[in-house]
């Protein structure tokens, strides 16, 4: 799978991923102590949904387009929608700008928090710097995100925080790299919250990935998945999944409410499942 994000910005997987990200951030910020956030594959920061890549796929219409004008949504979804609307001139018209995870994270950082963003592709890196210019407490690194996990963690001064690992899945071994990265990063930073995103196309491959993580015995690990199609067609993106290691207390309740709400509005098949469950209890 080649997940070039400009073509997919604002789709159902983005909305799901960003809802989960905000759920974890908000839980961590219930305490006044600062947090550190590392986004290993940051991307461009913001995306123009009127530009050619988005227009060619129109995937955003079945994602943010289905919920953008909603006024009654679970609190965490409302937080996401408020952030998206703030980037658009008229909240009553379809969105033109959609935030990537860097801009979303920065919008919800407190004065005491810090965020580090990694991006290696030169043009995307330039776009990222432009989109984050002037925002406080943000460090941008022109480096490989996989390598950054070893180089930038654990944070030197801030002991609490999270890592978002959201690779483009351009290489056939990306899911194995994600498995290894989550296990190794947990060993390096046992108290850190780790979020790993994965596409749901090949269900057996995803199940093998989750079994490997389960055997590693990492604590308080949740699986949060949202499918809009039945997960049996390997030619399309059927669903979005995140694994959360060291999941904050009661975040599963937030995720169940929000995922069910998104599923009701985004599913395109009656056989499309969703779930929020402890790793190892998926069956």
Is residue 153 within 8 Å of 163, Cβ to Cβ? yes
232 is catalytic: no
Nearest to 92, CA basis, from 77, 103, 107, 81? 81
Active-site residue, from 39, 113, 166, 252: 166
Exposed e or buried b per residue across 52-82, where buried means at least 16 C-beta atoms within 10 angstroms of its C-beta: ebbeebebbebbbbbbbeeeebbebbbbbbe
Q: How far is CA 25 from CA 76, 119, 158, 176, in A?
A: 10, 21, 15, 26
- Determine which helix (DSSP H) or strand (DSSP E) holds 147, and give its type and residue range: helix 145-151
Provide the token pair at 82. 């408020």
Exposed e or buried b per residue across 10-43, where buried means at least 16 C-beta atoms within 10 angstroms of its C-beta: bbbbbbbbbbbbbbbbbbbbeeeebbbbbbbbbb
Residue 106: burial class (beta carbons within 10 Å; 0-12, 13-18, 19+)? buried
Nearest to 88, CA basis, from 64, 66, 109? 64
Provide the token pair at 271. 């056989």
Q: What does the chain come to in residues?
A: 283
CA distance linking residue 16 with residue 14, whole number of Å: 5
CA distance linking residue 65 with residue 45, whole number of Å: 19
Catalytic residue annotation? 166
């Amino acid at each position: 799978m080649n997940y070039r994000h400009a073509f997919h910005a604002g789709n159902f997987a983005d909305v799901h991923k960003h809802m989960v990200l905000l759920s974890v951030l908000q839980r961590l910020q219930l305490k006044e102590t600062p947090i550190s956030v590392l986004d290993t594959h940051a991307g461009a920061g913001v995306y123009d949904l009127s530009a050619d890549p988005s227009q060619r796929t129109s995937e955003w219409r079945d994602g943010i387009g289905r919920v953008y004008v909603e006024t009654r949504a679970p609190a965490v979804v409302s937080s996401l929608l408020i952030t998206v609307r703030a980037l658009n001139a008229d909240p009553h018209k379809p969105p033109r700008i959609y935030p990537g995870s860097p801009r979303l994270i920065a919008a919800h950082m407190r004065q005491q928090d810090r965020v580090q963003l990694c991006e290696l592709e030169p043009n995307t890196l330039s776009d990222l710097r432009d989109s984050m210019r002037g925002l406080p407490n943000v460090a941008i690194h022109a480096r490989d995100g996989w390598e950054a996990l070893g180089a930038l963690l654990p944070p030197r001064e801030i002991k609490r925080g999270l890592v978002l690992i959201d690779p483009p899945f351009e290489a056939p071994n990306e899911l194995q790299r994600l498995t290894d990265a989550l296990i190794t990063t947990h060993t390096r930073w046992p108290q850190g919250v780790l979020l790993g995103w994965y596409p749901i196309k090949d269900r057996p491959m995803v199940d093998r990935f989750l079994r490997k993580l389960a055997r590693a015995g990492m604590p308080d690990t949740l699986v949060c998945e949202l499918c809009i199609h039945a997960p049996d067609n390997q030619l399309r993106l059927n669903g979005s999944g995140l694994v959360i290691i060291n999941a904050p207390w009661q975040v599963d309740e937030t995720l169940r409410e929000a995922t069910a709400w998104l599923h009701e509005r985004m599913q395109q098949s009656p056989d499309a499942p969703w779930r929020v469950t402890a790793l190892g209890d998926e069956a």
